[in-house]
Structure 1
Amino acid sequence: MRATTRILGIDPGSRLMGYGLIDSDGRKASYIASGCLKVTGKSLPDKLGLIFRELSELLHSYEPQQLAIENVFMHRNADSALKLGQARGAAICAAVTRDLPVAEYAPREIKLAVVGKGGADKAQVQHMVRVLLNLSKTPQADAADALAIALCHSYQQGALDRVSGATGLAGGRLR
């Protein structure tokens, strides 16, 4: 029997931040929770504080063992990319203050892992998340993205576990 890991996936945003929680044994994943945090506030520091506090509460409530988050990709607007990077930073800080390992994935890598093609659109990601997690309804786009990030991480970890088991390596060391 494989150990189960609880993974929190984060789709960062400075206005709406998706989150998705799954339990995974590296081969199969099961849905725990998902949703979106509406990031409100008069100033950017207020918004970043809200992200930190809300994610800290999620971490306390669901006790994930790992966090996976999407990397910043370059927007056409540099200001938007900077705000997104700061929102990611607040989310990452919430995780590291609880000593959680953080994994980062590129958008194309996530789509490739979940849909099978790196250029998939949001509707395709939503559909595959629904199918892979056997959900009764399609999650909101940002929540589906967060679940896709968690699934991508679970697949990566499962592959690493299988390779290390097959080669006798664990954490880079011989068993």
Structure 2
Amino acid sequence: MSFKAGASIGQWLHVLSSALLSGTGIGTAFYLLMVSLHRDVRVVAVVGRYVVIADWLFTATTVVFQPLSGFWMTHWAKIPWRSGWVGWSVLLYALAVACWLPVVVLQVRMRDLATDAAARGQPLPPAYWRAFLFWVALGVPAFFAFVAVFYLMVVKPPL
């Protein structure tokens, strides 16, 4: 395998993992948002369980893989990772991940609160809605940071 072929495979894996990261992130957030607003505690408990599983299987693995493959590609292409669009991508990615880490903890808490309420036949408790508000407040900047990173990776504007 030539070095160029290895770079192509690296690029393909980087793009694939970014698609998994954004697709899973947006998809799980959408389902948890919609099911929460629906307020059926039994459905929230079930969907919450699957959201947590999906985030650990897909989002967590791609959150780790993305910077590794990105740094490898910048090294291969001899692009300084602290400058221009790459530097901004790194900063925005760090912001998104800094928002995402507590979101995962909140999702686990929301899942547990919904599961407990469903088992007792009660509605979602106020603690669920407090966690939900923090979840939304952290999810919005994470989403826009990831969108900005996508833009920077595709357009590569001179900065």
TM-score (norm 2): 0.27
Bigger CA radius of gyration: 2
Relative to its length, the structure with more strand (as a share) is 1
Of Structure 1 and Structure 2, the greater helix share is in: 2
